[in-house]
Amino acid sequence: MPSVVRAFAPSKVNLALSVGAPGTDGMHPIASWMVTTRFGDDLTVKRLPPGTPSRYAIEWHDEALRRTEIDWKLAKDLAVRAHGALQQRLGRELPVQMRLQKRIPVGGGLGGGSSNAAAMLRALDALFDLRLRPQFLEHLSTQLGSDVPFLVQGGSAVVEGLGERLARAAEHRTHMVLVFPDAQCPTGAVYRAFDALRADARVDAPRVRELAERGACADTPFNDLALAACHVAPRLAEVRAEVEQFARQPVHVSGSGSTLFLVCDSAVHADVLADAIGDKVGVPAVSTVTGPTPVEEVDGEPRLPHAIAGEAEDE
């Protein structure tokens, strides 16, 4: 078995997000076209001898553009919880040393914690040669959060219901700029504002599926939560307006905020625009592109994860 696995935890962007009114359980049904990008966190997991207690470290990557205090308990971290969930499901200890280096801002609507959990599941699969099928990990991950099943494989998918219905979508290479305002958009507060603004909201799944099929350009992404997020965080609305005025193109909100994004024509367009937003508007921004989850490094050698290759056995 390998001794060290390095996995990438990509950010996810909602290129389309339609939200319905809450059901009797208080949960909001959605239809969303989700994609993963080449901007994300780095996870390194080292196998420890049997019987050794696992240990975890979480820190900001040197390249992180928007940092906040890492003040949550380790037991609450989604990567740590994913480790515990897999151990419990398999009925065996998987002792590891984890180092998580974060670039994705906390609470940014980019699924950072969920992606960390998915990366941990893929890393453990490779590290202990478990050869688990992606469907197994997706089912296991439903207890960790609605975005985690999608992020097990990443890429491009339409997610519906409460996140439990996932259909793979066409891969469109989409260049974009991610913008990180200094704004707080608590998910619960955003959904409460959404309910006040759109009490009779209905999910428009056909619109989401159509956009996922044809691909996104500068003005086609949409997000039913954008107005509510700007209502909860006026600073988000201010930065959005400033960036739109500067870039002269639509600026979109990912998830429940606070990350903004712009769809670009090319890698050069995205690079130049990200630098200009940082210099002229004074808000951190980074260029990226959508794509499948990259291969992992197993003992320093690149390898496609079992959970993505589809070569694994059922557990």
- Residue 234 located in a structural domain: yes
What is the model's pLDDT at position 306?
67
**φ/ψ (deg, to 5) at 73:** -70, 145
Domain shared by 180 and 151, yes or no: no
- d(CA 8, CA 108) in angstroms, rounded, equals 18
Domain shared by 19 and 161, yes or no: yes
Domain shared by 98 and 228, yes or no: no
First to last CA, the chain: 18
Q: State the catalytic residue, choosing from 12, 102, 125, 224.
A: 12
- Residue 308 located in a structural domain: no
Domain shared by 121 and 61, yes or no: yes
CATH of the domain at 203: 3.30.70.890
Question: Annotated catalytic, 280?
Answer: no
What is the model's pLDDT at position 293?
73
Locate 258 and state its tokens.
């606070």
- d(CA 75, CA 292) in angstroms, rounded, equals 29
The residue with tokens 């066409």 is: 170
Q: State the catalytic residue, choosing from 41, 77, 147, 224.
A: 147
Q: Count up the domains in the chain and report the number.
A: 2
Residue spans of the chain under pLDDT 50: 311-315
Beta strands in the chain (DSSP E): 4-19, 30-47, 55-60, 96-102, 156-161, 165-168, 175-179, 222-223, 252-253, 260-264, 285-289, 296-298, 301-303
Domain shared by 180 and 154, yes or no: no
- Residue 301 located in a structural domain: no
pTM: 0.93
Q: b/e map of 79-91 (b: 16 or more CB within 10 Å)?
A: bbbbbebbbeeee
What is the model's pLDDT at position 299?
78
What is the model's pLDDT at position 307?
64
Of 133, 151, 171, the position where a domain reaches its end is 171
CATH of the domain at 129: 3.30.230.10
What is the model's pLDDT at position 309?
57
Question: Annotated catalytic, 147?
Answer: yes
